[in-house]
Amino acid sequence: MSNHAQLADSSLILLADILPTGVFAAMQALQHPKIAPMLTGKPYPFGGFVPGGSNAHGQAASALQKDDRILTIGVVGLGPVGVCATVSLLDILAGLEKSQRLVYQVIAIDPLEPRRSKMQAVYDVIESSGKGGGRFAIASVEDGKKLALEWTAGAGCNAVLEVVGNPSALSLAYDIVRPFGSVSSVGVHQEPPLPFTGRDVYNKNVSFDFGRCPVRAMFPIALEILLKRQDVFGGVGAEASLIDRVVGFDEAVEMYKLFDKGQCGKILFDPSL
């Protein structure tokens, strides 16, 4: 922790939940076996585990073509957790670009303009080593759908991070993911049933991962990103700050109303105020 002297106290609470959750959404997508071909250059299933005792490896098809190795990832939802997921995703992809020459593109989607503006400010403040040279776009729902097709010759995203937790977000994730793609969902879904049928998922051959983040497992990676990205997580109230305000409990009701309307970002409550 060589940067601990510059670590803002207010940013530490992000390690309890939302930053590890953002990391988890990104890692769950990037470690999925359906993504392995883009990372290794080997066609499925030879990019990952293959049973031994056979000539399967030797009979594998030729390496993927250059255009087939472009990794396209969508992010649905740019609230506080969505920003954490996008920042984490870009940081990891930048590392893969450097170590494996990965070519990637990311489409970050939210229906609310203030959240899109926040994400743009966050992206702009991150230096190139923290976001890499991949193509990046922030879009409304309809524009995001169009980009997912335009950037992939009609195929759709290899993977989608769903960071909202409602049926419309899951529907959007399903719409923009390509056949044989995967969706990493960390949104907390409360409304049954899911907005698609088993037949829909089967026909598109889509994999879904749902669930709660294992914070302890994600903590080391989240801490590293927190230390590197104090320009995003360390400030309060700046244009590129994830944390918008620090208030007392007496303002809690009003803050929840503003957040529900999308008129503010992450709020921290300080009982001493």
pLDDT in tens, 2-45: 455 589 999 999 999 999 999 999 999 999 999 999 999 888 88
Token pair belonging to 71: 């990794």
Rounded Cα distance, 244 and 267, in Å: 6
Give the Å distances, CA to CA, from 132 to 21, 74, 129, 224, 267.
22, 16, 5, 17, 29
Residue 28 lies in a domain: yes
User: Is pLDDT of 53 > 60?
Assistant: no
Residue 74 confidence (pLDDT) above 60: yes
Using alpha carbons, select from 45, 35, 164 the residue that is nearest to residue 104.
35
**Other Cβ atoms within 10 Å of 80 Cβ, number:** 24
How do residues 166-211 score in pLDDT, each as one tens digit?
Answer: 999 999 999 999 999 999 999 999 888 889 999 999 999 999 999 9
- Domain residues for the domain of 209 are 8-39+67-216
CA distance 156 to 33: 17
In the chain, how many domains are there? 1
d(CA 23, CA 83): 10
In a domain, 139, yes or no: yes
pLDDT, position 86: 99
Q: Which two tokens stand for residue 169?
A: 């977000």
**CA torsion angle for 4, 6, 11, 17 (degrees, to 10)?**
-30
For residue 270, being part of any structural domain is answered with no
pLDDT at 9: 93
Is 191 inside any structural domain?
Answer: yes
CA–CA distance, 182 with 64 (Å, rounded to integer)? 19
Write down the pLDDT at residue 65: 87
Q: Residue 1 pLDDT more than 50?
A: no
CA distance 216 to 41: 32
Asked if 213 contacts 186 with a C-beta cutoff of 8 angstroms, the reply is yes
Mean per-residue pLDDT for 75-81? Answer: 97
Please say whether the dihedral angle defined by the alpha carbons of residues 185, 77, 259 and 123, taken in this order, is positive or negative: positive
Work out the pLDDT band at 114, boundaries 50, 70, 90: very high
Residue 77 lies in a domain: yes
Considering the chain, what percentage of its residues have pLDDT values greater than 70?
95
- Alpha helices (runs of H) in the chain, residue ranges in sequence order: 9-12, 18-30, 36-40, 80-100, 113-125, 141-150, 167-176, 198-204, 215-228, 230-233, 252-260
How far apart CA 262 and CA 256 sit, in angstroms, is 10
54 pLDDT tier (thresholds 50, 70, 90): low
CB 155 within 8 A of CB 174: no
For residue 3, the model assigns a pLDDT of: 53
The confidence band for 49, taking pLDDT boundaries of 50, 70 and 90, is confident
pTM assigned to the model: 0.94
61 band by pLDDT with thresholds 50, 70 and 90: low
Residue 131 falls inside a structural domain: yes
Distance (Å, whole) CA 170 – CA 271: 36
Please state, in angstroms and rounded to a whole number, the distance separating the CA atoms of residues 225 and 132: 15
Q: What CATH number does the domain containing 24 carry?
A: 3.40.50.720
Residue 254 resides in a domain: no
Strand, helix or coil at 152?
coil
Q: Are 14 and 233 in contact (CB under 8 A)?
A: yes
pLDDT of res. 262: 81
* 3-class DSSP assignment, residue 208: strand
Predicted local confidence at residue 192, as pLDDT: 82
**Is residue 163 domain-resident?**
yes
Q: Say what the pLDDT of residue 47 is.
A: 81
| pLDDT of res. 55 | 61
Q: Which two tokens stand for residue 194?
A: 């899911």
